[in-house]
A = this chain, B = another copy of it.
Amino acid sequence: MELLDAIATTRAIRRYRPEDISPQDLASMFFAATRAPSGSNRQPLRFVVLRKGVHAVAAKAVLGNAFRAGWAAKVDADGYQNGSGQTSDSPKTRMRNTMQHFVDQFEQTPVVVLACLQRYRAPTPGEGGSVYPAVQNLLLAARSLGYGGVITMWHEPVEEQLKSLLGIPSEVTISAVIPLGRPVGSHGPVRRRPLAEMVFEDEWGSPAPWANDPDGVAFTQAGPPRPHPPQS
């Protein structure tokens, strides 16, 4: 697949067909992931791949419960039941249905990847510079091979339980959990804010004159729905 096309169409995929990912494709995806850079090329990232093994089944169950709890909290916090969330065909309702299906079916996800950082110093906000480039490579490679996934963080409340279950050493943190599988439905162009809102030149807030979206691009609002939407 052409690189820029792959990047422009790698969406978060949360509904998976039941089929497995072939070992050859897994090898290609993790070869791609591990080509990413890391600070001083330390390569402190490790992947634990959960498929159908005995530990995988147990860990997926722990994660499924955590994801359902995480999503339930978010429904309340972000007001997914309010406003247009009461209309059956609104974007908010469609997102709520997709997310509910995602967490309800979590245990059936064909492959769940734990992106683990072997820390060599105290946690910092910048340590993700040695983790998330590889995770993005993984998602792009998955896209190019006909799979899809999403970066999630709902494992955090059960991180210690997972580490104990999977024998993950104490100095290692689970930086992200990435479910993967063959998508139900299709990939397609991702929507983002207009480029002019996100790219400045020479100083903060100063529009870059060249920062124009390609013709015909559709945009999206940023972020989750507002908890208290303004009356319209």
Contacts and interface: CB of A to CB of B under 8 A. Distances in A.
Interface stretch (A61-69, A81-89, A102-110, A121-129): A121-129
A48 interface: yes
A125 B173 contact: yes
Looking at chain A's contact residues, is the secondary structure mostly helix, strand, loop, or mixed? mixed
A1 B3 CA distance: 6
A224 interface: yes
B129 A127 contact: no
A101 interface: no
Contacts of A169: 204
A28 B208 CA distance: 13
A56 to B, nearest CB: 5
Chain A: interface size category: 35 or more
A204 B167 contact: yes
A216 interface: no
Contacts of A190: 35
Interface string A161-192: 00000111100110110000000000000101
Contacts of A140: 3, 7, 140
Interface string A204-222: 1100111111100000101
A10 B133 CA distance: 12
Contacts of A16: none
30 contacts: A2-B2, A3-B140, A3-B144, A12-B37, A23-B210, A26-B208, A26-B210, A27-B211, A30-B211, A34-B193, A34-B198, A34-B199, A37-B139, A37-B150, A37-B151, A40-B223, A40-B224, A41-B224, A42-B222, A42-B224, A43-B192, A53-B203, A56-B202, A126-B175, A129-B151, A129-B175, A132-B132, A167-B203, A168-B204, A172-B204
Contact of A132 (B48, B54, B129, B141): B129
B32 A198 contact: no
Interface in A72-97: 78
Contacts of A199: 30, 34, 46-47, 49
Contacts of A195: 27, 30-31, 34
